[in-house]
Structure 1
Amino acid sequence: MSQIDTQNSITTADAPTRANTKNDLIKTDKPAKQNFYDFYLEEHQNMACRRLHFAGSSFGLLGLAKSVKTRSPKPLLKGIAAGYACAWVGHFFFEKNKPASFKFPLKSFASDFRMYGDVLRGHLSLTDRKYDKARKSH
């Protein structure tokens, strides 16, 4: 077998592997970030829990704004404490589950503000899940 034949046979033999790898990459429906957000929304089905999360995130943002204005970290710390208190009350008393922030603190923090934005844009309801538009798979 010549060197050209050897290269062709290697290329041909590798082609299905490359194609399968490429197809496997293309078949991925959603990035991992979206999968976590879907999980996060599953953990926030109760409307009282969602409202408490929204209020808590608002307290956190107000604390941040006041900290910037006063150049003091105290309002931010108070806002964060109030925000987590609201969220945890929502989980323990209404949702009856453990907050995702216990296992995934950074992803949960980011997802909470994503949920906050979805509420502000009207993609998630604080009154009834049937009005939710943020998730395509219910």
Structure 2
Amino acid sequence: MTFGSYEEFWPYYVAMHSRAATRWVHLAGTLTGLALAAYGLGRGRPRYLAALPLLGYGAAWPAHFLIEKNNPATFGHPAWSLRGDVQMIRMMLAGRDAELAETAAKWLADNR
């Protein structure tokens, strides 16, 4: 799919994470990667920065294949997907997961 802006892409991105389990696997992988990266920086071990993409994508991509039964949006839109992941995780941490589920359901209903 092609999109003219991130704002057009966002509902699609959320729809590719329509199942709560997929979103929570993303959150867990990203936060674990961030924690290890921060730990590594704090301990003077910059190689730990590799934990962020390894754990983030390492958890997220299998969730797409096994839970969501789709391909990660990252494959077609890497920069917007990274931005979407950050926005999605921020919303989840703010207790707005139900809003994400609604956005996903609406996009899927309108685009099937």
Letter in 2 for 1:101: T
Aligned to 2:11: 38
Aligned to 2:99: 132
Letter in 2 for 1:117: R
TM-score (norm 2): 0.79
Question: Whole-Å Cα distance in 2 between the matches of residues 56 and 48 of structure 1?
Answer: 12
Please tell me whether the aligned partners of residues 101 and 108 of structure 1 are also in contact (alpha carbons under 8 angstroms). Answer: yes
2:50 is aligned, of 77, 82, 96, to 77
Letter in 2 for 1:59: T
Runs of 4+ in 1 over 3 A off after TM superposition: none
Aligned to 1:6: none
| CA deviations over 1:22-58 (Å, ceiling 9, x no partner) | xxxxxxxxx8222111110010001211111011110
The answer to whether structure 1 residue 117 and structure 2 residue 90 are counterparts is yes
Larger Rg: 1
Count the aligned residue pairs. Answer: 102
The answer to whether structure 1 residue 98 and structure 2 residue 65 are counterparts is no
Q: Which has the higher helix share?
A: 2
Question: Whole-Å Cα distance in 1 between the matches of residues 33 and 99 of structure 2?
Answer: 24
| CA deviations over 1:61-112 (Å, ceiling 9, x no partner) | 1133123212322211023201111101110000000001111111111110
TM-score (norm 1): 0.66
Q: Relative contact order (C-alpha < 8 Å, sep 6+): which is higher?
A: 2
Question: Whole-Å Cα distance in 1 between the matches of residues 46 and 68 of structure 2?
Answer: 31
Aligned to 2:20: 47
Gaps of 5+ in 1: 1-30, 125-130
